[in-house]
A and B are shown apart, each in its own frame.
Chain A
Amino acid sequence: MSENLIVPTMAEMLAQGKQPEVLFWVGCAGSFDDRAKKITKAFVRILNRANVSFAVLGTEESCTGDPAKRAGNEFLFQMQAMMNIEVLNAYEAKKIVTACPHCFNTLKNEYPELGGHYEVVHHTEFLKSLLDSGRLTIEGGQFKGKRITFHDPCYLGRANNVYEAPRDLIQKLDVELLEMKRSKANGLCCGAGGAQMFKDAEPGNKEINVERTEDALETKPDIIAAGCPFCNTMLTDGVKNKEREGDVKVMDIAELIANAQDL
């Protein structure tokens, strides 16, 4: 049984002579990673519910080039960037929303110099704006009273100073928001950034995601909230490593909101 998700593509929109309010940049993880696909769908459910006119690039989307750039491959990055910019500019994209802080940072900060000028927002900022303008309402629902801690993704927080939007959203759920000892600008990386996701760590005495999961578990949470598909994977692995998958869940903020609304 496939669910009833309405996901128009930019090509379809163009054929109908329409321009969506926002372009949803799904990202590689959101498109292909089994865990991250759930986040993508949760976000789409919210967009559908709030009647947001959006579209995706679908098969015309390609990697932003972030992992290549952080690994040091400027060539590959700029090739990807210029191809994507060509596509985006052809559709005259103005506003882009994405659930991946890596795509967010790259599109927002590194594309302009190469000719791609868009208003780029992270999905937590976008959801916050939907709430603020009354297009979306949420109540605590099933999460009421739960203990939730939020892990700041480096590329959202330190890299771009987005700290409040995700926290505001969590607080809307009538939950207890717990701060880890290292949070916001002092947050600890999940260990995936800088292309680390795609290779083994160098020799050391611990994995970074385990160290970070320990920070999170210290707050005695029911749920560890994330705002990045890579952080999500790293922390999920960390929770497994600590054998706590039975009582602690790792969830994206879009999932929290979609679930709270039974979407």
Chain B
Amino acid sequence: MSYLSNVLFAIVLIIGFGYFYSNVKKIIRNINLGVAVNRKDNAKARWRNMAMIALGQSKMVKRPVAGILHIIVYVGFVIINIELLEIIIDGLFGTHRIFAPLGVVYDFLIGSFEVLAFLVLFAVTVFLIRRNIVKLRRFIHADLKGWPKSDANYILYFEITLMTLFLLMNATDFHLQNVPGGFSHFIKAGSFPISQFIAPVFNRMSNELVMLLNEGFWWLHIVGILIFMNYLYFSKHLHILLAFPNTYFANLNPQGQFDNLASVTAEVKLMMDPNADPFAAAPVSENEAPSKFGASDVQDLNWVQLLNAYTCTECGRCTSSCPANQTGKKLSPRKIMMDTRDRLEEVGKNIDANKGVFVPDNKSLLNDYITPEELWACTSCNACVEECPVNISPLSIIMDMRRYLVMEQSAAPMPINAMMTNIENNGAPWQYSQQDRLNWKNEI
């Protein structure tokens, strides 16, 4: 009988981690659909970024209420997972509280887990209130209709359930530890600053029933954790894993520095070189698809932008600081990130369904998800980039899509075309002659 439960536990674990692994592979595959870009330089600065921003949450606390509550949940989550190690060992080998011999250290550990679990319950309740009762503008924004809205709430319910189960599990344990003369394998170990107050609930029940409950809570807790882990893939909650690589690979250049398209540089150099043969076509290899300028779909974006899309927490800090969004324009940087992820998922599913190759589906990120109107509303002010707690750059995607509109489709708004013609002809965005550039010197 006891072997049966160990084997069952092993099977549950394998299924849980196996499914998780297969989804992680899918994410990596999808991110690799993006164009190559080198983000391996300057490892020192990258580690520092990751330590400060992902581990240290330095950008979260810019909004102190959400920031501090988030840190509680985050620390609670990380630390309570240490408990997971004990649960797994106990489950596989049929032991009970295997780390109990650590004595005082163990007391301290369990005690702090409990306090954190309690704090997490508190923080999550406040989060629920902010989302559903206070209704902060960025949480009731049109971007979050449907799944994204329920997703956010599900995560919070999940956390409440897991923390409650953890405390109930400890409460039953505490109760059985204190049965006069001892009971079964429930040795005295750990300290229970929170759950000792829940324990009296079980006073009227028989020891056997409480033990059954204890096992039930234990199982629900671990199975819950496994389900939650696998839920990440379908959720904005994926950021708890991807925030780390995302901050590591984030752009280190000054925010105002946009990349220079290398393919364009080559052509411009050719155009400007008086010795170049104007009829010599650039060597194009047969099977190489002609490269596009800019991006119209997710495959044209670089892998960091795709990683950004999976990392986005949908917090809406970017949107709430965007001047275009603030003044009622359609642009929402958060939506740019959500759209990119949705389209990338769609492309990924297409590849899965077609044995590893992408079959054109007559859709693209541009137009089917993101409209030119949104793209043209951006002032390239970098407020969204500055604001993002996990160093995402919605702006880089906006710019790459503008490049496609202008260089591939010549689809810029009329006045922008006029401005560009002026630069081309007069070297200024207005219709003044370059010869008049110094006239100001002699004007009053």
Q: Interface of A with B (CB < 8 Å)?
A: 1-3, 5, 7, 9, 26, 28, 30-33, 37, 40-41, 56, 58-59, 61-63, 65, 67-76, 78-80, 82-83, 105, 108-110, 113-114, 154-155, 158-161, 185-189, 191-208, 211-212
Contacts and interface: CB of A to CB of B under 8 A. Distances in A.
B413 A204 contact: no
B407 to A, nearest CB: 6
B183 interface: no
Given A186-B386, A208-B327, 20 more contacts: A26-B440, A31-B437, A32-B428, A59-B438, A61-B434, A68-B420, A68-B423, A69-B258, A70-B380, A72-B404, A74-B261, A79-B268, A82-B268, A154-B381, A189-B379, A192-B379, A194-B380, A201-B377, A202-B329, A202-B373
B234 to A, nearest CB: 33
A211 B253 CA distance: 30
Contacts of A82: 268-269, 272
Interface of B: 253-258, 260-261, 264-265, 267-269, 271-272, 293-294, 321, 323-324, 326-331, 373, 376-383, 385-386, 399, 402-407, 412-416, 418-420, 423-424, 427-430, 432, 434-444
A181 to B, nearest CB: 12
B406 A78 contact: no
B319 to A, nearest CB: 14
A79 B269 CA distance: 8
Contact of A7 (B379, B402, B441): B441
B403 to A, nearest CB: 4
Contact of A204 (B260, B327, B385, B435): B327
A58 B437 contact: yes
B438 A206 contact: no
Given A72-B294, A194-B379, A199-B416, A80 B327 contact: no
Contact of B258 (A110, A160, A212): A110
A185 B330 CA distance: 24
A2 B444 contact: yes
Contacts of A205: 327-328
Nearest to B433: A59
Nearest to A105: B256
Nearest to A199: B415
Given A5-B441, A73-B420, A194-B381, A28 B272 contact: no
Q: Which 7 A-B pairs have the closest CB atoms?
A: A159-B256, A194-B380, A72-B402, A62-B427, A205-B328, A204-B328, A109-B257
Contact of A155 (B256, B407, B434, B437): B256
Contacts of A7: 438, 441
Interface centre among B264, B419, B423, B436 (most CB of A within 10 A): B423
Contacts of A70: 258, 380, 399
Nearest to A154: B381
Interface centre among B269, B420, B442 (most CB of A within 10 A): B420
A67 B423 CA distance: 9
A154 B382 contact: yes
B327 A61 contact: no
A161 to B, nearest CB: 7
Contacts of B441: 5, 7
17 contacts: A31-B437, A37-B440, A61-B427, A62-B427, A62-B428, A67-B423, A71-B402, A71-B406, A71-B416, A72-B406, A73-B403, A74-B403, A75-B264, A109-B256, A114-B260, A154-B383, A199-B376
A123 to B, nearest CB: 16
A180 to B, nearest CB: 14
B423 A76 contact: yes
Nearest to A158: B382
Contact of B380 (A26, A74, A193): A193
A1 B272 CA distance: 43
Contacts of A9: 438
Contacts of B267: 75
Given A9-B438, A28-B430, A186-B386, A194 B378 contact: yes
Given A7-B441, A31-B440, A32-B432, A158 B293 contact: no
A63 B429 contact: yes
Interface centre among A74, A82, A114, A212 (most CB of B within 10 A): A74
Nearest to B294: A72
Given A59-B437, A160-B254, A202 B331 contact: yes
A71 B440 contact: no
Nearest to B264: A74
B253 to A, nearest CB: 7
A119 B436 CA distance: 27
Contact of B326 (A76, A108, A200, A211): A211
Contact of A32 (B272, B418, B430): B430
Interface centre among B379, B404, B418, B434 (most CB of A within 10 A): B379
Contact of B412 (A33, A58, A71, A78): A71
A59 B413 contact: no
B254 A159 contact: yes
A56 B416 CA distance: 28
A63 B435 CA distance: 13
A208 B328 CA distance: 10
B378 A159 contact: no
Contacts of B403: 72-74
A161 B254 contact: yes
A203 B329 contact: yes
Given A63-B429, A186-B386, A198-B429, A105 B257 contact: yes
Interface centre among B293, B321, B438 (most CB of A within 10 A): B438
B442 A206 contact: no
Interface centre among B257, B326, B403, B441 (most CB of A within 10 A): B441
Contacts of A75: 264, 267-268, 407
A98 to B, nearest CB: 14
B420 A185 contact: no
A166 B330 CA distance: 34
A65 to B, nearest CB: 7
B260 A59 contact: no
A103 to B, nearest CB: 12
A191 B420 contact: no
A47 to B, nearest CB: 13
B383 A31 contact: no
Contacts of A211: 323, 326-327
Contacts of B429: 28, 63, 67, 197-198
Contacts of A59: 434-438
Nearest to A109: B257
